[in-house]
Amino acid sequence: MLKKREPVEDNDSLERSISAIAAAMSDPSRVKMLCALMDGRAWTATELSIVADIASSTASAHLSRLFNEKMVTCLSQGRHRYYRLAGHDIAELIETMMGVSWKRIVPPETRAPMGLRTTRTCYDHLAGEVAVKIYDVMVNEGWFDSEGTSMTPEGRKRFQALGVVLDTKTRRKACCACLDWSERRFHLGGDAGAAFFTHCEQKGWLTRVPGFREVNITSSGKLAFRRLFTLEV
Protein backbone atom coordinates (compact mmCIF):
# COMPACT_ATOMS: atom_id res chain seq x y z
CA MET A 1 0.00 0.00 0.00
CA LEU A 2 1.36 3.37 -1.03
CA LYS A 3 1.97 5.85 1.71
CA LYS A 4 0.07 9.13 1.41
CA ARG A 5 2.43 11.95 0.51
CA GLU A 6 2.66 14.79 2.98
CA PRO A 7 1.95 18.28 1.59
CA VAL A 8 5.11 19.91 0.35
CA GLU A 9 6.03 22.88 2.52
CA ASP A 10 6.13 26.17 0.64
CA ASN A 11 9.73 27.27 1.09
CA ASP A 12 9.48 30.12 -1.38
CA SER A 13 6.98 32.25 0.54
CA LEU A 14 9.59 34.69 1.89
CA GLU A 15 11.23 35.14 -1.51
CA ARG A 16 7.88 35.71 -3.21
CA SER A 17 6.87 38.21 -0.52
CA ILE A 18 10.10 40.18 -1.01
CA SER A 19 9.54 40.16 -4.77
CA ALA A 20 5.99 41.45 -4.33
CA ILE A 21 7.14 44.38 -2.19
CA ALA A 22 9.95 45.18 -4.62
CA ALA A 23 7.47 45.09 -7.51
CA ALA A 24 5.13 47.45 -5.65
CA MET A 25 7.98 49.94 -5.31
CA SER A 26 9.17 49.53 -8.90
CA ASP A 27 6.99 52.30 -10.35
CA PRO A 28 8.30 55.92 -9.98
CA SER A 29 4.77 57.27 -9.39
CA ARG A 30 4.19 54.87 -6.50
CA VAL A 31 7.59 55.78 -5.07
CA LYS A 32 6.70 59.49 -5.22
CA MET A 33 3.51 58.80 -3.25
CA LEU A 34 5.36 56.71 -0.66
CA CYS A 35 7.97 59.46 -0.23
CA ALA A 36 5.21 62.05 0.24
CA LEU A 37 3.69 59.90 2.98
CA MET A 38 7.03 59.95 4.81
CA ASP A 39 5.91 63.19 6.47
CA GLY A 40 3.71 61.02 8.72
CA ARG A 41 0.42 62.62 7.63
CA ALA A 42 -2.59 61.04 5.96
CA TRP A 43 -3.09 62.14 2.32
CA THR A 44 -6.06 61.87 -0.04
CA ALA A 45 -5.73 60.15 -3.41
CA THR A 46 -6.18 63.53 -5.09
CA GLU A 47 -3.32 65.08 -3.12
CA LEU A 48 -1.09 62.12 -3.93
CA SER A 49 -2.01 62.29 -7.61
CA ILE A 50 -0.79 65.90 -7.67
CA VAL A 51 2.48 64.91 -5.98
CA ALA A 52 3.03 62.10 -8.49
CA ASP A 53 1.80 64.26 -11.41
CA ILE A 54 -0.64 61.61 -12.62
CA ALA A 55 -4.40 61.35 -13.18
CA SER A 56 -6.63 60.65 -10.17
CA SER A 57 -7.78 57.35 -11.66
CA THR A 58 -4.17 56.25 -12.13
CA ALA A 59 -3.33 57.28 -8.55
CA SER A 60 -6.24 55.21 -7.25
CA ALA A 61 -4.93 52.14 -9.09
CA HIS A 62 -1.43 52.68 -7.67
CA LEU A 63 -2.79 53.14 -4.15
CA SER A 64 -4.82 49.97 -4.49
CA ARG A 65 -1.62 48.12 -5.35
CA LEU A 66 0.21 49.59 -2.35
CA PHE A 67 -2.76 48.80 -0.10
CA ASN A 68 -2.88 45.18 -1.26
CA GLU A 69 0.81 44.81 -0.48
CA LYS A 70 0.16 46.27 3.00
CA MET A 71 2.46 49.24 2.41
CA VAL A 72 -0.27 51.81 3.07
CA THR A 73 -3.46 51.86 5.10
CA CYS A 74 -6.71 53.59 4.19
CA LEU A 75 -9.11 55.49 6.44
CA SER A 76 -12.55 56.63 5.26
CA GLN A 77 -13.82 59.84 6.80
CA GLY A 78 -16.93 61.44 5.36
CA ARG A 79 -16.62 61.59 1.59
CA HIS A 80 -12.85 61.29 1.64
CA ARG A 81 -10.43 58.40 1.90
CA TYR A 82 -7.08 59.07 3.48
CA TYR A 83 -3.91 57.08 2.96
CA ARG A 84 -0.86 56.80 5.16
CA LEU A 85 2.13 54.49 5.53
CA ALA A 86 1.26 51.15 7.09
CA GLY A 87 3.79 51.52 9.90
CA HIS A 88 7.26 52.35 11.12
CA ASP A 89 8.79 49.34 9.36
CA ILE A 90 7.58 50.61 5.98
CA ALA A 91 8.99 54.08 6.73
CA GLU A 92 12.35 52.56 7.71
CA LEU A 93 12.37 50.52 4.49
CA ILE A 94 11.74 53.61 2.35
CA GLU A 95 14.39 55.65 4.17
CA THR A 96 16.91 52.83 3.66
CA MET A 97 16.01 52.61 -0.03
CA MET A 98 16.56 56.37 -0.31
CA GLY A 99 20.01 56.01 1.24
CA VAL A 100 21.02 53.20 -1.12
CA SER A 101 19.62 54.99 -4.18
CA TRP A 102 21.16 58.34 -3.29
CA LYS A 103 24.65 56.83 -3.64
CA ARG A 104 23.96 56.34 -7.34
CA ILE A 105 23.12 60.00 -7.99
CA VAL A 106 26.05 62.25 -8.96
CA PRO A 107 26.54 64.82 -7.63
CA PRO A 108 24.13 64.27 -4.69
CA GLU A 109 24.77 67.74 -3.22
CA THR A 110 22.95 69.45 -6.07
CA ARG A 111 19.78 67.37 -5.94
CA ALA A 112 18.43 67.77 -2.40
CA PRO A 113 16.85 71.06 -1.21
CA MET A 114 18.99 72.56 1.54
CA GLY A 115 16.04 72.79 3.94
CA LEU A 116 15.43 69.06 3.67
CA ARG A 117 19.10 68.28 4.09
CA THR A 118 19.27 70.31 7.31
CA THR A 119 16.19 69.09 9.20
CA ARG A 120 13.19 67.02 8.10
CA THR A 121 10.89 64.31 9.36
CA CYS A 122 11.58 60.64 8.75
CA TYR A 123 8.00 59.49 9.43
CA ASP A 124 7.86 60.21 13.19
CA HIS A 125 11.46 61.09 14.03
CA LEU A 126 14.04 63.70 13.12
CA ALA A 127 16.32 63.30 10.09
CA GLY A 128 18.83 65.40 8.19
CA GLU A 129 22.19 66.95 8.98
CA VAL A 130 21.22 68.16 12.46
CA ALA A 131 19.74 64.77 13.42
CA VAL A 132 22.91 62.99 12.28
CA LYS A 133 25.10 65.30 14.38
CA ILE A 134 22.88 64.85 17.45
CA TYR A 135 23.01 61.08 17.05
CA ASP A 136 26.82 61.17 16.72
CA VAL A 137 27.04 63.02 20.05
CA MET A 138 24.67 60.53 21.71
CA VAL A 139 26.72 57.56 20.54
CA ASN A 140 30.06 59.16 21.45
CA GLU A 141 28.75 59.95 24.94
CA GLY A 142 27.51 56.39 25.42
CA TRP A 143 23.74 56.84 25.16
CA PHE A 144 23.56 53.87 22.78
CA ASP A 145 25.83 51.00 21.82
CA SER A 146 28.06 51.47 18.77
CA GLU A 147 25.55 49.67 16.52
CA GLY A 148 22.63 51.76 17.77
CA THR A 149 20.60 48.65 18.59
CA SER A 150 20.23 49.17 22.33
CA MET A 151 20.10 52.03 24.81
CA THR A 152 22.62 52.00 27.63
CA PRO A 153 21.85 52.78 31.29
CA GLU A 154 23.58 56.13 30.67
CA GLY A 155 21.25 56.76 27.74
CA ARG A 156 18.15 56.02 29.80
CA LYS A 157 19.47 58.31 32.51
CA ARG A 158 20.09 61.14 30.02
CA PHE A 159 16.68 60.72 28.36
CA GLN A 160 15.02 60.82 31.77
CA ALA A 161 16.95 63.97 32.66
CA LEU A 162 15.73 65.58 29.45
CA GLY A 163 12.15 64.63 30.25
CA VAL A 164 11.80 62.39 27.20
CA VAL A 165 9.07 59.80 27.80
CA LEU A 166 9.93 56.34 26.42
CA ASP A 167 7.33 53.64 25.77
CA THR A 168 8.51 50.58 27.70
CA LYS A 169 5.79 48.40 26.18
CA THR A 170 6.31 49.31 22.54
CA ARG A 171 6.36 46.53 19.94
CA ARG A 172 8.64 48.48 17.62
CA LYS A 173 12.40 48.71 18.04
CA ALA A 174 13.30 50.59 21.20
CA CYS A 175 16.00 52.35 19.18
CA CYS A 176 17.85 51.88 15.93
CA ALA A 177 20.44 53.54 13.75
CA CYS A 178 18.35 54.73 10.79
CA LEU A 179 20.27 55.44 7.58
CA ASP A 180 19.85 59.08 6.56
CA TRP A 181 19.33 59.25 2.79
CA SER A 182 20.82 62.71 2.28
CA GLU A 183 23.74 62.48 4.74
CA ARG A 184 24.35 58.77 4.14
CA ARG A 185 25.07 58.39 7.84
CA PHE A 186 22.84 57.41 10.74
CA HIS A 187 20.26 59.29 12.75
CA LEU A 188 18.20 58.04 15.71
CA GLY A 189 15.14 55.96 14.82
CA GLY A 190 12.83 53.59 16.64
CA ASP A 191 10.75 54.52 19.67
CA ALA A 192 13.59 56.57 21.16
CA GLY A 193 13.83 58.65 17.98
CA ALA A 194 10.07 59.25 17.93
CA ALA A 195 10.01 60.15 21.63
CA PHE A 196 12.92 62.58 21.22
CA PHE A 197 11.24 64.29 18.27
CA THR A 198 7.94 64.59 20.18
CA HIS A 199 9.80 66.08 23.14
CA CYS A 200 11.52 68.66 20.91
CA GLU A 201 8.16 69.67 19.44
CA GLN A 202 6.53 69.97 22.85
CA LYS A 203 9.41 72.11 24.12
CA GLY A 204 9.04 74.40 21.11
CA TRP A 205 12.50 73.59 19.79
CA LEU A 206 11.19 72.29 16.45
CA THR A 207 8.21 73.24 14.30
CA ARG A 208 6.93 71.37 11.26
CA VAL A 209 6.35 73.06 7.91
CA PRO A 210 2.68 72.22 7.14
CA GLY A 211 2.36 69.84 4.21
CA PHE A 212 6.09 69.17 3.90
CA ARG A 213 8.79 67.04 5.54
CA GLU A 214 10.89 70.09 6.31
CA VAL A 215 11.30 71.07 9.97
CA ASN A 216 12.34 74.46 11.34
CA ILE A 217 14.57 74.89 14.39
CA THR A 218 13.38 77.72 16.61
CA SER A 219 15.66 80.15 18.44
CA SER A 220 15.05 78.25 21.70
CA GLY A 221 15.84 75.02 19.85
CA LYS A 222 19.17 76.39 18.67
CA LEU A 223 20.06 77.33 22.26
CA ALA A 224 18.96 73.92 23.54
CA PHE A 225 20.96 71.99 20.93
CA ARG A 226 24.01 74.12 21.67
CA ARG A 227 23.65 73.46 25.40
CA LEU A 228 22.85 69.75 25.17
CA PHE A 229 24.94 68.64 22.21
CA THR A 230 27.46 71.48 21.64
CA LEU A 231 25.81 71.90 18.26
CA GLU A 232 25.82 75.17 16.34
CA VAL A 233 22.83 75.36 14.00
Determine the pLDDT at residue 101.
77
Give the integer Cα–Cα distance in Å for 94 and 34. 8
Torsion angles phi and psi, residue 179, rounded to 5: -65, 125
What's the maximum distance between 2 C-alpha atoms anywhere in the chain? 84
Q: What is the pTM of this model?
A: 0.62
**Contact, 220 vs 147, CB < 8 A?**
no
Residue type, 230: T
Determine the pLDDT at residue 141.
94
Determine the pLDDT at residue 63.
96
Cis check: omega of the bond before 107, within 30 degrees of 0 = yes
Determine the pLDDT at residue 13.
87
**What stretches in the chain show pLDDT beneath 50?**
1-2, 8, 107-110
User: What angle is formed at CA 124 by the lines to CA 118 and CA 126, rounded to 5 degrees?
Assistant: 25
Determine the pLDDT at residue 170.
80
Determine the pLDDT at residue 153.
94
Determine the pLDDT at residue 7.
54
Burial class (CB in 10 A: 0-12, 13-18, 19+), 74: middle
Give the integer Cα–Cα distance in Å for 145 and 174. 13
Determine the pLDDT at residue 110.
39
Domains of the chain and CATH, by start: 14-86 (1.10.10.10), 89-229 (no CATH)
CA distances from 157 to 97, 116, 162 (A): 33, 31, 9
Determine the pLDDT at residue 81.
85
